Structure 1
Amino acid sequence: MEFAKRLKQYRNEMGYTQEEMAMVLGITTRGYRNYELGTREPNLSFLVSLADKLNVSMDNLIGREFPKEANQ
């Protein structure tokens, strides 16, 4: 699943509207919508803020998966 879809999924799970999420992050609603539409990607420091506010790891938010061999 791509970043934009994960972002929307986690926002919905937290019970935030797009407007509320934008306010929590200190950005415009339009700016936030661009992340969910996939027309804009966050820089690293903003990605940390997103993950913190949504209470998920950055790996989960960006869809990073580890091969099973790497975890052993």
Structure 2
Amino acid sequence: MDYIQRIRDLREDSDYTQEYVAHVLGTSQTMYARYERGANELPIRHLLSLCKLYNVSSDYLLGLTNTK
């Protein structure tokens, strides 16, 4: 599973909207939606923020391990 699917699944499992996650990241909802679709690559600063938001490791988010 790649990070695109993981960030979408984590958001949906947490009952967060794209708008809320975009606000946490300090970006627009449109740009965050592009990350979830894979149209834009996720910047490292956003990767770190998502790890903190969902309390998971970067290895998990990137699909390198199945252990959160």
Sort the TM-score into its range (normalised by shorter chain): 0.7 to 0.9
Kindly tell me the number of residue pairs found equivalent between the two proteins.
65
* Rounded Cα–Cα distance in structure 1 between residues aligned with 2:10 and 2:61: 8
1:68: which partner in 2? none
Distance apart, 1:26 and its partner CA: 1.2
Tell me how large the CA RMSD over aligned residues is: 1.1
Distance apart, 1:9 and its partner CA: 0.3
> 1:41 is paired with a residue of what secondary structure?
coil
Work out the percentage of aligned pairs sharing the same amino acid.
38
Distance apart, 1:50 and its partner CA: 1.4
Q: Which runs of 5+ in 2 are unaligned?
A: none
Q: Which runs of 5+ in 1 are unaligned?
A: 66-72
Moved more, 43-52 or 22-31: 43-52
Distance apart, 1:48 and its partner CA: 0.8
2:54: which partner in 1? 54
Instruction: Pick the structure with greater CA Rg.
Output: 1
User: Deviation above 3 Å: which 4+ runs of structure 1?
Assistant: none
